[in-house]
Amino acid sequence: MFLFGLLLATGLASCTRQDGTAKILINEVLTNNVTNFQDDYGIHSAWIEVFNKSYNSVNLAGYFLKVSNQPGDTITYIVPKGDVLTKVSPRQHALFWADGKPNRGTFHTNFTLNTTQPCWVGLYDSGKKLLDEIVVPVLNPDESYARVQDASKDWEIKSGSKTKYVTPSTNNQTIERNEKVEKFEVHDSSGIGMSLTAMLVVFCGLILLYIFFRILGKAVFNKSKPVKQPVNMKQEENTNKSAEEVFAAIAMALHEELGGVHDIESNKLTIRRVHTPWSDKYNALRVIPRKNS
């Protein structure tokens, strides 16, 4: 049966082959959905998951999904344009429902997947270039055929167990442990090495910042220094003459102040009263005759 599937894939592949550098890949397929993931209508339908393995967004509008169970019965679904949801973010998934009802939305295809025999699934870009293809074997209900990890080359059947669980629209394998962290814990259980490493990183950062700002400061201050102008001898002579005249004026002022040119005063103020007919007020008074008793 599997040999028949391989021959089927060989016969259905177009003359334009995949080159292994495609950004969009088929990541997981579930053909017989009984109790698994439901679509937006609450219906259990078969589904095909594609994965964007690049670190740039990819728009699936105009892409082709093709399925076939035997040569000559290929059905093609073209992803409609105009839906913003067809733009797949980096390292994210897109889920297409193989329910044969495209009128339900962009991600509902016009074909269904056969549950009784292997089926071929192909993914093409808008230029009809084959990006990825896979022959899905016959699966039990709620089993999926998926890559071991997202975009990996190895495939496996996921039966819903704790280690091999079906993962629509999410990572095919969740890494629950980190070997590097575990080794670090073994060699540095007390955390001293981690503390020293953190301190070393901080001090190195401070030293680099000091060097950077030191160099930057020198560059800025060197630019702000005034440029020395060439010396003009005539201007310098005029400046010297002006300075000599100023000094001479100051010396003359000091000489007049300290050289005894002014009268020597006793620093005493004397007011002498002089009686004159004009200054004596009582002369202006009218004499009133006295009455003899």
Q: What is the pTM of this model?
A: 0.59
Task: Dump pLDDT digits (tens) for 189-241.
Answer: 777 888 888 899 999 999 999 999 888 887 877 765 665 666 566 666 666 66
- Please give the tally of structural domains in the chain: 1
Cβ(51)–Cβ(93) under 8 Å?
A: yes
Q: What is the mean pLDDT of residues 264-287?
A: 63
Examine residue 268 and state whether it is found in any structural domain, yes or no. no
Domain of residue 71 covers: 2-177
Could you report the per-residue pLDDT of 64-111, keeping only the tens digit for each?
Answer: 999 998 888 999 999 999 999 999 999 999 999 999 999 999 999 999
Q: Are 121 and 134 in contact (CB under 8 A)?
A: yes
Does any domain span residue 230? no
Whole-number Cα distances in Å, 129 to 70, 115, 236: 21, 27, 85
Amino acid of residue 74: T
pLDDT of residue 9: 47
Residues 244 and 246: their CA atoms lie apart, in Å, by 5
User: Are residues 95 and 49 in contact, defined by beta-carbon separation less than 8 angstroms?
Assistant: yes
- CA atoms of 92 and 262, how far apart (whole Å): 105
Whether residue 227 lies inside any domain: the answer is no
pLDDT of 16 strictly over 50: no
Of 263, 187, 5, give the one whose Cα is nearest residue 114. Answer: 5
Residue 14: pLDDT over 60: no
Q: What is the pLDDT of the chain when averaged over all its residues?
A: 82
CA distance 156 to 149: 10
276 occurs within a structural domain: no
Tens digit of pLDDT for each residue in 150-168?
A: 999 999 999 878 788 899 9
In a domain, 45, yes or no: yes
Residue 158 lies in a domain: yes
pLDDT of residue 271: 65
Taking 50 as the threshold, does the pLDDT of residue 2 lie above it? no
% of the chain surpassing 70 pLDDT: 73
Name residue, tokens 């994965």. 51
Q: Beta strands of 21-109 (E only): which ranges?
A: 24-30, 46-52, 58-59, 64-68, 75-78, 87-88, 93-98
Give CA–CA dist 135/117, Å, rounded: 10
46: domain CATH number?
2.60.40.1260
In terms of Cα–Cα distance, which of 151, 175, 137 is closest to 55?
Answer: 151
Segment among 28-37, 89-98, 195-204, 265-274 with least mean pLDDT: 265-274
Percent of the chain predicted with pLDDT > 90: 51
Angle at 150 between CA 146 and CA 152, to 5 degrees: 80
Query: How buried is residue 184: exposed, middle or buried, by Cβ count under 10 Å (0-12/13-18/19+)?
Result: middle
Position 33 pLDDT exceeds 60: yes
